[in-house]
Amino acid sequence: MRPVTVPTLPGASFPLPPPLEGLRRLAYNLYWTWHPEVRVLFSRVDPPAWARYRNPIPVLEGVVRWEGLLDDPHFMGSYQTLLAGFDRYMADGRGRWFAREHGRQPGGPIGYFSAEYGLHESLGLYSGGLGILAGDHCKAASDMALPFVAVGLLYRRGYFRQTIDADGHQEHAYPDYDPTRLPLVRVAGPDGTTLRVPVELPGRTVRAAVWLAQVGRVPLLLLDTDIPENPAADRPITHILYVRGREMRLHQELVLGVGGVRALRALGVAPVAWHLNEGHSAFLLVERMAELTRAGTPLEEAIERTRRDAVFSIHTPISAGNERFDGELVRRLATPLCEGAGIPTDRLLELARGVDADAAGQFDMTAFSLRVSRGANAVSALHARTAAATWTGVPERPIGGITNGIHPPTWLGRPVRELYERHLGADLDDLDTGPPASRFWERLEQLPDVQLWDAHQRQKLELAYFARGRLRDQFARHGEPPATLEELESALDPEILTICFARRFATYKRAYLLFHDEERLARLVWDPARPVQVVFAGKAHPADRPGQKVIQEIFTRSRGPRLRGRVFIIEDYDLRVARYLVQGVDVWLNNPRRPLEASGTSGMKAAANGAVNCSVLDGWWDEGWTGTNGWAIGGREVDPDEARQDGLDAMDLYRILEEEIVPRYYERDEETGLPAAWIALMKRSIASTIWRFSTTRMLREYVEQLYLPAAGVEPAGRQAQDATGAPAPVVAAGGRVVRGGEHPRGRSSPDAAPR
């Protein structure tokens, strides 16, 4: 099965010496985002430009002294080797998992629609976990040679950049991205000019230009309404991700769904299955119905045929995360699309009827997508049970559970990555290659403790230097004196146990839990023999005032006399900040209010690097915790009194820190001076997560449980599902097969005292 190819117009017209023309191919494929050696190559072209932009296009456009590079044998050797590796990667996917297992079966690609994509910090197409997952999904589809095409929107103003002022208030700024200076090219239409697709709206037709972001073998089509053909009032439709205005948001989602289908049709791309990643793209289902009814198909048959090859992922049990629009607004904006196709808007509103008391008169995008999809999945085993209870009676089939994963090559720090490759023979571009002996995560005991610890400490040192620079800039902007800025030179000492809490600052994630007893926390972090330092990072949506208040409270406490110098909050949490954090911390803390965390993936990224999770048994950790690979806060029972539950969980968190985490981290082997028990815990953390919670495993499940059935294909060698919806077994250290639900309720490890 050949990958989807998309005709394009030339990108930026910067000149390159003929021997280095291959740099253009490397620059315009986001393959470099998960191959650090390619990023190093671009950084050597112009180090200051790379440090400023972290994007190869402006680097290559600049004034480069090519003669020195052409005469540098090391640079030229690296260039030729990396270009040859890239060309091999792109030329042939026959040895990859999908081609080996299912390559002859479907007759076309999977069409994947998402409102956001987290591919790299230079592309402001994401806000948080949903987008990061979508980006990792595309990268894994490329690695596995899955025929796949993705569709989204080009946000020229992106998502907001966060600053925190001297009083702890979150401030919002929206950048202005120039697409011609990003690794994007315009998609060519049949007439040889930029492809533009029409979307009918009341009283006019808006046109969306199409850009291409090539993600390895996977094309990502991005729709852009900011073009001269559109009136000034319509050009900003695609400017801002998750714009606050509800009517503008609905305009965006019409462009994404309707325009996305039309872009694929214009390119002659015929997906065999359509995957809606959340309900934002639900209008693709309406457009596909309309295609059929315009051709004479009766409406109910058109609905059934649309349902037959559509699949849907639901990502949150939180009401605010499930998109709804006023029914009259939908009726007004969707009428031009529906009238010409003979689709009564009342029928659409009926299909979009929600399940709670607020559902009357609302167009619920999640309910609509569930009713017009043949299969739906939640993003963890626990979330599947929560979603099934929430959406009882809406989908025709039960909501399954496909637990999220991460793309390890994107998230591993270079020291740890090189250790896996050098000592264990890991091929991170293809976790499924070869015999069972190639499963490097099952051979982690072979890693010398000293080398794993040294690699971890190097990543921890890199985090310290990065965080010091960010904090220095932040406090200098606040007007802090030089003496205060100088103190930051010793902040985040790599010898001190480092804990991180980083995620979106929604209140249900309880970022404040660690501060429940500030005096107890202060004793913990300032213990003279066994100190602790804590790093926070995260954004709250501009409309989320309670979340912003949590940020202000944490910032204020971090600058107070009890915690100053041991607790820090780093502003503008993005992909770059996230990489440093997951690669460099010792403990990843997550304490949402169960069962409101659908999955979460940041803890998976930290675990792959050797960090240890300490988390509430929610989302992925409910099935990922084995009892010996980290700690569980609290139990699986939920107290309806939220304040009392917060208090219980806070007390258990303090107990785990004081009695288990801190002592184990600081215990040193008398002969080696290493924390041997902690390193053993790191190895169990890696072994139990790096495959089980990878996008490779995740994509296998999507293909065999959703994509191939939607394409009308019975997967070869498909494994039977556990009728209870229990997660797949996890192999713990020592080869014992365990499940998350086996362990005693409320115990953080097998030898911990029960609550």
Domain 112-401 and domain 456-465+492-695+728-742, same fold? Reply is: yes
- Produce one character per residue of 250-273: b if its CB has 16 or more CB atoms within 10 Å, e if not: bbbbbbbbbbbbbbbeebebebbb
Q: What is the pLDDT of residue 1?
A: 56
For residue 357, the surrounding DSSP H or E stretch is none
**Locus of tokens 């250790």:** 419
For residue 350, the surrounding DSSP H or E stretch is helix 345-351
Amino acid in position 378: A
> What six digits make up the tokens of 222?
């991005």
- DSSP 3-state assignment of 194? strand
In order, the DSSP letters of 430-455 are -TT-SSGGG-GGGGGGGS-HHHHHHH
For residue 316, the surrounding DSSP H or E stretch is none
**DSSP state for residue 6 in the 8-state scheme:** -
**Comparing C-alpha atoms, which of 600, 565, 603, 572 is closest to residue 587?**
603
Q: What is the pLDDT of residue 751?
A: 36
Q: What is the CATH number of domain 112-401?
A: 3.40.50.2000
Q: What is the pLDDT of residue 319?
A: 67
Q: What is the pLDDT of residue 322?
A: 84
Q: What is the pLDDT of residue 81?
A: 98
Q: What is the pLDDT of residue 437?
A: 53
Distance, in Å, from the CA atom of 199 to the CA atom of 287, rounded to the nearest integer, reads 10
Please list the residues that pair with 110 across neighbouring strands: 148, 273
CB atoms within 10 A of CB 23: 23
CA distances for 704 relative to 82, 105, 330, 755, angstroms? 33, 12, 35, 41
- The 3-class secondary structure across 462-509, one letter per residue, is HHHHHHHHHHHHHHHHCCCCHHHHHHHHHCCCCCCEEEEEECCCCHHH
Distance, in Å, from the CA atom of 234 to the CA atom of 262, rounded to the nearest integer, reads 19
Please list the residues that pair with 500 across neighbouring strands: 535, 588
Q: What is the pLDDT of residue 716?
A: 66
**Comparing C-alpha atoms, which of 675, 662, 610 is closest to residue 459?**
610
Query: For residues 558 and 565, is the Cβ–Cβ distance under 8 A?
Result: no
Q: What is the pLDDT of residue 433?
A: 59
- Produce one character per residue of 330-363: b if its CB has 16 or more CB atoms within 10 Å, e if not: bbebbebbbeebebebeebbebbbbeeeeeeebb
Which residues, other chains included, contact 228 with Cβ-Cβ below 8 Å and sequence gap of 6+?
none
CA 670 to chain CA centroid, Å, is: 41
**Comparing C-alpha atoms, which of 197, 191, 192 is closest to residue 210?**
197
**Comparing C-alpha atoms, which of 278, 239, 277, 238 is closest to residue 259?**
238
Query: For residues 215 and 138, is the Cβ–Cβ distance under 8 A?
Result: yes
Which residues, other chains included, contact 113 with Cβ-Cβ below 8 Å and sequence gap of 6+?
150, 151, 152, 256, 257, 260, 274, 275, 276, 277, 281, 284
**Comparing C-alpha atoms, which of 654, 679, 631, 629 is closest to residue 449?**
679
Distance, in Å, from the CA atom of 409 to the CA atom of 682, rounded to the nearest integer, reads 19
> What six digits make up the tokens of 583?
């690669």
- DSSP 3-state assignment of 319? helix
For residue 91, the surrounding DSSP H or E stretch is helix 73-91
Q: What is the pLDDT of residue 287?
A: 98
Please list the residues that pair with 164 across neighbouring strands: 170
CB atoms within 10 A of CB 397: 10
Tell me the residue ranges of DSSP E strands in 291-354: 310-313, 324-326
Q: What is the CATH number of domain 456-465+492-695+728-742?
A: 3.40.50.2000
Q: Model pTM?
A: 0.94
**DSSP state for residue 594 in the 8-state scheme:** T
- The 3-class secondary structure across 532-590, one letter per residue, is EEEEEECCCCCCCHHHHHHHHHHHHHHCCCCCCCCEEEECCCCHHHHHHHHHHCCEEEE
Distance, in Å, from the CA atom of 513 to the CA atom of 568, rounded to the nearest integer, reads 15
Q: What is the pLDDT of residue 717?
A: 55
User: What parts of the chain have a pLDDT lower than 70?
Assistant: 1, 319-320, 357, 433-438, 716-755
List the domain boundaries for the chain: 112-401, 456-465+492-695+728-742
**Dihedral, CA atoms, 667, 668, 674, 677, nearest 10 degrees?**
-40
In order, the DSSP letters of 144-191 are TT--EEEEEE--SSBSPEEEE-TTS-EEEE-----GGGTT-EEBB-TT
Q: What is the pLDDT of residue 454?
A: 98
Distance, in Å, from the CA atom of 367 to the CA atom of 353, rounded to the nearest integer, reads 6
